[in-house]
Amino acid sequence: MKVVIIGGVAGGATAAARLRRLDETAEIVVFERSGYVSYANCGLPYYIGGVIEDPEALTLQTPESFFARFRVDMRVRHEVIAIHPEGKTVSVRNLETGAEFEERYDKLILSPGASPTQPRLPGVGLERVFTLRTVEDTFRIKDYINAHHPGSAVLAGGGFISLELAENLRELGMEVTVVQRPRQLMNPFDPDMAAFIHSEVRRHGIRLALGQTVEGFEERDGGVDVLLKDGGPLHAGMVVLAIGVTPDTALAKEAGLELGLKGSIAVNDRMETSVPDIYAVGDAVQVKHFVTGQDAVISLAGPANKQGRIAADNICGGDSRYSGSQGSSIVKVFDLTAASTGVNETNARKAGLEADAVVLSPMSHAGYYPGGKVMTMKVVFEKGTYRLLGAQIVGYEGVDKRIDVLAAAIRAGMTAIQLRDLDLAYAPPYSSAKDPVNMAGFMVENLAGGVVKQFRLEDVKALPRDGSVTLLDVRTPQEYAGGGIEGFRNIPVDELRERLGEIEAGKPVYAVCQSGLRSYIACRILAGHGFETYNFSGGFRFYDAVVNDRRLIEQAAACGMDLP
């Protein structure tokens, strides 16, 4: 059996290694048009910033090491220019010599990945306008910075690569501006959770131009002007386009393979395309979202690796199935860690799901043990069934392990209530006896059982201020004096029983505290005395962060720039 693989990196290289482990006699050939067959995409921004100093550290395998270990014929700088399914051959061009030849296959795996989205805008091809996807892209950016020492950069796009690159360029001492058409960074997060990311970015001096559309680029004064639709130009020493990626599927289209969402390659759960003996994996393929069941294109290394393994299994006679992607991801943002899994509340509703959420602010470990830090968690679930749909966490220590627990819970089909039952490791330096994940389950259980009702951020503005309801802030007087929600009066929770006479009977009570815990206790006290109560989800800490972020975005919209 002869297997030809188009493209290396996560999907193609994984498939090649798995094929060899399953079949010692198969002939395996990989064609990779770049000069690197297996490299760490996610590490590229950190090489530019100098965190990773050795360029060889980016290369996970070389053609020589891959051949030595697996006897796989890895041919870099070779581009497949056509697929001929009827004759089971591919046309290949050697990019070093220009020579072209035909290569036969019994089975073909497509792992072409995705290319940086290149908008058709004036000036995209300018010398100082870069994209970042490959090792070669990384070296070009690094060499330009070393040679020209630009003092500033504009990054078009607000996703993973842009955010990581923004941090690394800022650490090099550059003035950095991020331009993003949506009014938030990091679309896997809901806008309220993205507020915490915005705050950290601003705190480190990065300027945000959210809700701004780039219309082109012009060279001026030894730099580049970034032209905005609704504002003056931004001038910088260099520009990096990081507005997303597009499935690289021209070969598949020309060969007559069925395409899907965003021009991706349609595959079944065995990673088979519409043409017999041709498989496809990685960033170029359409998959099912594990939570919504809808078609999706999810460009992440984890799914690509799994898909490569599944394709290899099936080529070797197995019956492996890909059950879908849920988009689990994590990113470092200076001192902050932001992670998500499943679907956020916004996208759940777009998918037609009746979604609700709880927001909590637990400590990373036991409060009495030194060094604990607050994280913000948002756990999304389906109303009625309480099916766990997704989660987002922004914080410092312990974010990664909590998001992985929640990702596993989603994959296991658990409800949000069942999070209470997870038996998680506890010692004071690492967690609390009631882990934050357990706490989320307790909160959803209380909602489901009618122990408490909640009101959300989007409900605050519509609350009547005419006296028909009681708006109650149960923090300490000192906290209350530092700022609160308009119309909320202060009675500290520890004085509440003695001051019940100050709360008019028969009126619903809407309670808030700093994180949601004391106001929950207040709601239980009041409910025990016959009051109808509602607890504010997330507390004033959450409210203040989100409202302040929205105010800054609105101010920026007026002048086209968000000053840190």
Cβ–Cβ under 8 Å, residues 394 and 338 = yes
- Mapping DSSP to helix (H, G, I), strand (E, B) and coil, where does residue 152 land? strand
Question: Residue-wise over 487-507: b if at least 16 C-beta within 10 A, else e?
Answer: ebeebbbeebeeeeeebeeee
- Mapping DSSP to helix (H, G, I), strand (E, B) and coil, where does residue 247 land? strand
The torsion angles phi and psi of 371, rounded to 5 degrees, stand at 95, 0
State how beta strands 231-236 and 223-228 pair.
Answer: antiparallel
Query: Which residues belong to the active site?
Result: 42
CA distance to 127, 151, 261, per residue, from 144 (Å): 10, 12, 36
- C-alpha torsion angle, residues 443, 445, 450, 451 (rounded to 10): -60
H-assigned helices in 412-474: 436-448, 457-460
Q: In what order do the strands lie in the sheet with 329-333?
A: 329-333, 336-342, 388-395, 376-382, 355-360
DSSP 359-399: EE--BSS-TTSTT--B-EEEEEEETTT-BEEEEEEEESTTH
Q: In what order do the strands lie in the sheet with 454-455?
A: 454-455, 533-536, 509-512, 470-473, 489-490
Nearest-angstrom CA–CA distance, 64 and 71 = 9
Q: How far is CA 410 from the centre of its chain?
A: 17
- Mapping DSSP to helix (H, G, I), strand (E, B) and coil, where does residue 457 land? helix
Nearest-angstrom CA–CA distance, 56 and 526 = 64
Cβ–Cβ under 8 Å, residues 25 and 127 = no
